[in-house]
Structures are given as structure tokens and as C-alpha cells.
A = this chain, B = another copy of it.
Amino acid sequence: MASETVSELKRLKMSDIARLCGVSTSTVSRALAGSPLIQEATREMIIQIADANGYVINPLARGLRLQRTNTIGVVFPLGAITAQLISDPFFQQMLGHMVDEISLRGYQILVSKVTPPKPGWLRELIKAHRTDGMVVIGQSDQHAALNDAGQVYLPLVVWGAHLPDQQYCVVGLDNVAGGRMATEHLIAIGRRRIAFLGDPSPPEIEQRRRGYLAACKAAGLDVTDRLIVPAGFSPQQAEAAAERLLAESPDVDAVFAASDVIALSALHVLRRAGKRVPEDVAVIGFDDSAVAAHSNPPLTTVRQDLAQAARLMVDQLFQRLDGQPTDGVTLAPELVIRQSTVRS
């Protein structure tokens, strides 16, 4: 079309098209929406003229009128305590999958990073009405805010841990089972002094630690506090934590890290301290992120299938958009054994 010239970016509204077609605005609106009220011939003529002129409906005006935006919000609450960045591979992957799943359904994605959240943050986000529904990635320390909103706002799905007094829809791994599974594996290969590396303020991590404690107790291992070291999610924080662990408990023979990134940092610190992995110290991670399979040695880890998780979350969200409540899903963790753990 000759119409696609350089000057063609001027704002063109529906009434302009109407004038061009010699009909009223409402007819154009109906024609573009495919309403049966409009004669087929008229419709074709209008559509033809509309896109010859490169007309695009203004979604803001449309959204204002319809109270519907065709947009899903993906929200990352980064708690005050945890310094988890969106640059953590877990979040990156989750975001990537969310984009894939949501755009597959023809919706747009509005990403919000809330850090650190103020009391009313979630309600404010909801009341802004910029999105038709919302996915929250990770509970961080915002369980109360989620409960508060979840009771009154249906189209909300949260990735995270299942908590007892929960009023919102959660899709998440059985983190207790994951923690137990990892620890039992370490015990099974003969390790006795097993450390836990991770910051337990997000409930997911807290539950992994609970699983760890349960497995230790079941095996009759006594877990001194020195073996449980809070570790942030960044490589720097994780390395510091691993060094503290080594200093306080030089005889440790296994490390269960709350994430693969932490595990890799531990690997690094251990090697630097002259420990062999897995001979002297076995290491197990969590997530099965891309790094785990290719590390040296390849990292045993607890896998969470984020592609599937994202699909489930978006499925449930769309059910909720249709007005049907959903119950959330608990996913089963899967132990992926690689070379960072072997029998001692």
C-alpha cells in the first residue's frame, strides 16, 4: 500500500475512519468487532479502509470503556529482608515462561517489581485496574498482603509455598518433601554432618529447611545450629555464608543448598578450601536451573519444572478470569542425581 509512508504515524481515531467510510463511529466499532449487526459488505469495506490507513484501536480507551485490558500482571514482590533480585536465574526463567504462556493466550504482560513493598501495595496494584488478573511470583514475606487481597480478588494466582491459613490460590512445589528428599539422599550415601545453606525468610526456603530437619531427625542425626547457615541468594552472599560454614564446622561432609546458585558458590568455596567435591563434601542444590547440569562436577539437585509450573499457574488464572475458583496445585519435586553427590 502506498499508505505506509513516513508521515503515517499520526494519531488516527475511529471517527476519522468513520468519516473516511462515510458511516458513523458506532458502525466502525461494530464492524471491527465483527458484530452481526453490520452487513458483511459494509464490514469488509470498513476493514479494508481501516487497515489501508493503518488504523489501530486505542487499547487505553477500549480498556477504559470495557473495564478489561487483555493484560496480565506478573508481580515480583522482593521482601525487605531477602535481597533476591529479579536477576536471579530462577526469577528470570519463571518470567520467561510466564511471557511464553501468557502471550500464547493472546494477552499482554505487565511486569511489576515491588521492592520493598509498602503495606497496601497489592491492593493498590489491583485497584489500578491495569490488568485483568495477576500472577505473583514468590511470597517473599508478604503472606499477609496476599491473604488480604486473595479474599476479595479472584483472578490472582501465587507461586510459592502452601501455608496453613492461606486465603489465596497457590501453585508451588512441595518444598518440605523436596528438602526431605535431598537430605535423605545425602544420608543414604553415608553423610552424617549435613549443612543447610539458605535464608529461611521466604516460606519456600523455610519449608525446605523443615524437610531437612525432619530427615535428619528421622535418621537420628543431631543438627547443631552451626550447620544451619542463613545465605542470601546472590553469589557474593552465598560465598560468604559458605565460608562462615567452613570456618565454624570444618568437618562438614555434605551441603544442602537452598538454590543452585548457592550450591555453585559453595562448590567454589569448598574447592578453594582444598575440599574435594564429592569425595570430602557432597553438595546438592535446588531448582535444576540451567547451570546445574553443566557445572563441574555436575550438580545433584531437586528439580522444579518451571515450564509446567507456569502453564498450570496461567491455566488456573484463566479459569479464575472466567469466574471459577481454583484450588491451586502442589507439584512433586524430583531428585536429579549427578556427580556432586556420591557414596562416601
Give chain A's interface residues, CB within 8 Å of chain B: 4, 6-9, 11-12, 54-61, 63-64, 69, 71, 76, 85-87, 89, 91-93, 95-97, 99-100, 103, 108-113, 120, 123-124, 126-130, 148, 151-153, 264, 267, 290-291, 294-298, 307
Contact = CB atoms under 8 A, between A and B. Distances in A.
Instruction: Count this chain's copies in the assembly.
Output: 2
B295 A59 contact: no
24 contacts: A4-B120, A6-B151, A8-B123, A8-B152, A9-B126, A9-B127, A11-B127, A11-B129, A56-B123, A56-B124, A56-B127, A57-B128, A60-B129, A85-B100, A86-B96, A91-B96, A92-B92, A92-B95, A103-B112, A111-B111, A290-B290, A295-B296, A296-B296, A296-B297
A9 B87 contact: no
Contacts of A59: 128-130
Main secondary structure of the interface of A (DSSP, over half): mixed
Nearest to A12: B127
Contacts of A307: 87
Contact of A64 (B60, B100, B112, B151): B60
Contacts of A4: 120, 123, 148
A54 B123 contact: yes
A100 B95 CA distance: 13
B86 A130 contact: no
Contact of A103 (B8, B54, B64, B113): B113
A11 B128 CA distance: 9
B110 A86 contact: no
A109 B111 contact: yes
Given A4-B148, A54-B120, A296-B295, A109 B110 contact: yes
Nearest to A111: B109
Contacts of A96: 85-87, 91-92, 95
A123 B76 CA distance: 30
Contact of A127 (B54, B128, B291): B54
A112 B120 contact: no
Contacts of A60: 60, 63-64, 69, 129-130
A67 B14 CA distance: 16
B97 A87 contact: yes
Contacts of A297: 296
A60 B97 CA distance: 27
A322 B113 CA distance: 24
Contact of A152 (B6, B92, B95, B111): B6
A7 B151 CA distance: 9
Contacts of A151: 6
B152 A7 contact: yes
A83 B79 CA distance: 36
A112 B103 CA distance: 7
A71 to B, nearest CB: 8
Contacts of A127: 9, 11-12, 54-56
Contacts of A153: 9
